[in-house]
Structure 1
């Protein structure tokens, strides 16, 4: 039995990966996938996608694009288990069993549910649960099943997701208390140094703000988007503050230490915004060119991606099937006569 620490990360399949996703989550996860001292699990959270997205083609296309992105960037699938959530049916079965020991009051305190209720209050809706599906209400239980199924020790998350890891601990602890010790209680890992990229408008790069730059945008689109990045009205020749500049923040997230110092000199010397945008475009285009070629090739061969995901699901189920059998027996679901 492996004594490696298990680290688990899920990626919701509702959008196209952008530069912010890469810097904040994808790049560190891919680096971690090569660490032989841990057992990483990375999964495409397509059941989670259904909570907010009822566009089947978008879910399918996002699954394709996200999987292609991770593979094109060098995810080590020999070490990491890379799978689609829906290919491991034991996760859904475990979700039901966990739901049967989860207090409704705990779900009432989930941030997403409380936000929906508050929005209805502010809109003077008579029904405070208007628009709330059971998927939205129960998704912390599905997330707990994702984590507890593989006895993850650590779950890297943003600060807004810490509550869900705490809930997974509470749910796992409750199940252990009733049915015996089955689950490791996970810990949230919040990366203090995780880079947060600014988007086209200077706010955090997010699909919610419609200000993103797709990670593998074609050259012409990449140039066009970079040229749209918001800057101030300082003229060429005026010294500029890199700390207040979206262009610099993006450049810094990709460049090495020497290149960043060189860029600081450009700002001190008063580089024009048009020139800086051109430099950023050329740098990113060069930096991402090889991975973009691999990405575009993978999109043309979805069966290769499918093969990788099926292989990952087989690895995941090699753990999940016998583990779920033990869980079933612990709750009394087992053949008669024993």
Structure 2
């Protein structure tokens, strides 16, 4: 299905990757990249700048994300893994695209509108706290996508707008310059990205502080699992597995037989939440045992991660340079001199 497609995805280094990220984004991207003609996986450190002011945190989180993808099986012979900021062409293309992007389009950005709505509710200036990094975020995102002629962009439902904006900007550029230079990417909605519950039953998210880091230390992992919110049903009372956060998480780490056993035990009232949490803890531990070893080894060798990221950037720049040359020639009548 994707053998002739270019797949692209990015993840912001704004925190330690959690189990929701793994199930909803990392694993699906790794699977897609193995099927695609070519794949680009970038760590969106430039996108983090409009909110994160701690450069050490961005760098640390970048290493964590890179190590996570590699530990979970990303094949860097098939997918370019790189830092967004290591691609100078993305800065240039973003600036060029701003000249074919309407302000009205940026006004409709979900992230920008959310800030404006909060400010309005409080009676503040609508643009209080809004920097141009936030306002022009969709233009930079479009540059990320269009620079590599991406055909497919796997996203959660809440990120679909970014791909739609990239299509709008691409269409505007191609129309103005009467050339089919930029691609028309398609979003692939990752339904699981919105289905992974956190400790409190809501979507697992850093903003809710209800997440479990993928490679949490054993003590931290146990503490997190035991904090999962449950109802007051007794061990011998029937329970609905499909509304249980424990069971929903368990399905992503246990074997088919183990999943069937927990479901049956819940339905028949033969398992309490305490026992179920212990089974979940064991399943996560076993599932991530080998990836954890790889992850910890990589984090202990930042120079190795730098080398892998640099190699990925070199691969990505081959396509990036070609696209920027075409865009620059169309807009300025000449090729870039660098």
Alignment TM-score, normalising by the size of structure 2: 0.94
Helix, strand or coil at the partner of 1:254: coil
Name which of 143, 146, 168 aligns with 2:144.
146
1:287 aligns with 287
1:318 is the counterpart of 2:314? no
CA contact (8 A) 2:82 2:309 kept: yes
Deviations 1:271-304 (A, max 9, x none): 1221111111111111111100110111100111
Alignment CA distance shift 1:30-1:276 (3 Å): same
Partner in structure 2 of residue 55 of structure 1: 54
Q: Relative to 1, partners in 2 of residues 1:192 and 1:198: Cα closer, same or farther, differing over 3 Å?
A: closer
Alignment correspondent of 2:168: 170
Query: What is the 5 A alignment of 1:114-263?
Result: 114-125=113-124, 127-179=125-177, 180-192=179-191, 196-263=195-262
Measured against aligned partners, the alpha-carbon deviations of 1:27-54 in whole angstroms (never above 9, x if no partner) come to: 111122222x431111000000111111
Give the CA deviation at 1:226: 0.7
Question: 2 CA distance for matches of 1:73 and 1:192?
Answer: 20
Aligned residues: 332
- Name 1:30's counterpart in structure 2: 30
Q: TM-score normalised to the size of structure 1?
A: 0.94
Name the SS for the 1:188 alignment partner.
strand
Q: Is 1:92 aligned to 2:121, yes or no?
A: no
- Matches of 2:160 and 2:322, distance apart in 1: 29
Q: Distance in 1 between matches of 2:12 and 2:186?
A: 20
Q: Which consecutive unaligned segments of at least 5 residues does structure 2 have?
A: none
Distance in 2 (CA, whole Å) between partners of 1:193 and 1:19 is 12
Tell me whether 1:10 sits opposite 2:4 in the alignment.
no
2: CA distance, partners of 1:53 / 1:16: 14
How far off is 1:128 after superposition? 1.5
Work out whether residues 112 and 134 of structure 2, in 8 Å CA contact, stay in contact via their aligned partners in 1.
yes
Pairwise CA distance, 1:137: 0.5
- Post-superposition shift, 1:99? 0.2
Deviations, residues 105-145 of structure 1 (Å, cap 9, x unaligned): 111111111111111111111x2111111011001000000
Q: CA deviation at 1:333?
A: 5.2
Task: Measure, in 2, the Cα distance between the counterparts of 1:104 and 1:164.
Answer: 15
CA contact (8 A) 2:157 2:194 kept: no
Give the deviation of 1:325 after TM superposition: 2.0
Structure 1 residue ranges without an equivalent (≥5): none
**Partners of 1:105 and 1:31 in 2: how far apart?**
36
How far has the Cα of 1:191 moved from its partner? 2.8
Question: By how many angstroms is 1:334 displaced?
Answer: 2.9
Shift of 1:193: 5.3
